[in-house]
Amino acid sequence: LQTRMLLDTLDYEFTRSYKEWQRVLGLTLGTTSSGRKTGPMADRVYRGLDWTATFRDVVPRRNATLPYELDCSPEIAKQVGPNWKHSIVYEENGNQTKCNGPQNPTSGYDWHGRAELAGPPGDVGFFKIVAGGTVHLPLWKSLTLHTSLNGGILQPLTYGGLCPSSTTSHISDRFFVGGPLQL
């Protein structure tokens, strides 16, 4: 059982032309089950249930010479301002459970999965699933092939008008190439 409170600023000005201020309150209940094996190939799988209430504020990048003008895309400009995200997340991962070493595996596989449901009492509603896996194949001596596949789906939900801003997904919940929610 873990509780957390967080005040943070996520700076996406260079890549997405906005900053996001976050105030987070969360509670996580997680388990790790161990099989009979110990060491690198042990059967350790993390399972966790997480409740989070997040107040977010999207602040667009401003023009350097005309500070009253925005220097961002119209999509970012439409989503400027505060929003309240209330979500429940179920997560499972077997990261490094079937690999021969945690730092630089040369054989084995690992995987992860996450399902998130956001909605009332917040003003953002969606259902999101993210999953992926990595395979490490030894080829010859110290030569190893590492391949991974990650994917996800995001479905905005309005809850019958309780989350009116959810007719499209919020910029902070979308997938971005190379970002923390990798595409």
Tally Cβ neighbours within 10 Å of residue 81: 11
Q: What is the pLDDT of residue 180?
A: 52
pLDDT tens-digit map of 113-155: 999 999 988 888 999 999 999 898 888 888 889 888 889 999 9
Across 169-174, average pLDDT: 82
C-alpha torsion 142→143→146→147, nearest 10: -160
Helices (H), the chain: 13-16, 74-78
Q: What is the pLDDT of residue 55?
A: 94
pLDDT beyond 70 at 7: yes
* Sign of CA pseudo-dihedral 114, 120, 124, 127: positive
Q: Do residues 57 and 20 make contact, with C-beta atoms less than 8 angstroms apart?
A: yes
Is the Cβ–Cβ distance between 51 and 29 less than 8 Å? no
20-37: average pLDDT = 78
Report the C-alpha gap between 2 and 12 in whole angstroms: 28
Report the alpha-carbon distance of residue 50 to residue 135 in Å, rounded.
28
Q: What is the pLDDT of residues 55-109, one digit of tens each?
A: 999 888 888 888 788 888 888 888 888 889 999 999 998 866 678 776 778 888 8
pLDDT at 61: 84
Q: Say yes or no to pLDDT of 23 above 60.
A: yes
pTM, entire model: 0.79
Q: Tell me what pLDDT residue 166 has.
A: 57
Q: Where are the beta strands (DSSP E) in the chain?
A: 2-11, 18-33, 45-60, 81-93, 98-99, 108-118, 126-140, 143-156
The CA distance from 123 to 167, in Å, is 11
